[in-house]
Amino acid sequence: MTTEEPTDEEVVETASAAAEGVVLDRYKQSELTDLDVTVTFEDGVLDVDVYVNPPEDADPDAEDVAEAAALAAQDAVDELFE
């Protein structure tokens, strides 16, 4: 039985969706001043950068949310390759 590897585009889309999902689960989109998720997948290396700019009094902490989003992106990509 042969299983095809996901394309680079599928990897990037999966990672982006997972990261954005985590951020939007923690904050309302209307609260965010800025949300930027940058994903690259080259030569088998996944790079995820998440920038979140919520209101100053927002809870939870933006750095924690960005880290959780990046981890979720990695987990989603790992599942693609299983």
Q: Which of 82, 27, 71 is nearest to 53 (CA)?
A: 27
pLDDT tens by residue, the chain, 82 residues: 456 899 999 999 999 999 999 999 999 989 899 999 999 999 999 999 999 999 888 889 999 999 999 999 999 999 999 9
Q: How many whole angstroms separate alpha carbon 61 and alpha carbon 49?
A: 16
End-to-end CA, the chain: 14
Cβ(12)–Cβ(29) under 8 Å?
no
* Domains with residue ranges and CATH for the chain: 8-80 (3.30.300.100)
Q: How many whole angstroms separate alpha carbon 82 and alpha carbon 74?
A: 13
Q: pTM (2 decimals)?
A: 0.91
